[in-house]
Amino acid sequence: MGRSEKRELVNCLDVLLLHLLKWRYQPGFRGTSLRLTLREQRLRLGEHLADNPSLKSKVEDAMRNAYRLARLEAARETGLAEETFPEVCPVTFDQAASQDFWPD
């Protein structure tokens, strides 16, 4: 397993977590575009893990690293204070990856 695969896992999770934060903290923007973006990112994540099954043991570390980035990006993109978003990721990997999970 190479660094690029681990990096791609963090990138996939970063984008997914960013959009989950936007879904949770900007309910007025819960439109088709955001819903489809979340669906797409979940599919991309699933495909990446299917292609690299050894990454499953790295998911927890990747979630922590990705969430730190997603939190900063969410503050920048939403204009909300960084403190608006929890310091610790409010969702589990299984929730984030599930097509049926929508944080409220």
Average confidence score pLDDT of the chain:
96
Band of pLDDT at residue 2, cut at 50, 70 and 90: confident
Helix (H) or strand (E) holding 29: none
pLDDT digits (tens, 9 = 90+) for 16-64: 999 999 999 999 999 999 999 999 999 999 999 999 999 999 999 999 9
Q: How far apart are CA 67 and CA 15, in angstroms?
A: 9
Q: Label residue 104 by pLDDT band (50, 70, 90).
A: confident
| Tokens standing for residue 35 | 């819903």
The predicted model gives 81-86 an average pLDDT of 98
Confidence class for position 84, pLDDT limits 50, 70, 90 = very high
At 89 the pLDDT is 98
- Indicate the DSSP class of residue 27: G
**CB–CB of 82/75 below 8 Å?**
yes
d(Cα 8, Cα 11) in Å, to the nearest integer?
Answer: 5
- In the chain, the percentage of residues whose pLDDT exceeds 90 is 96
- Residues counted in the chain: 104
> Are the beta carbons of 23 and 90 closer than 8 angstroms?
no
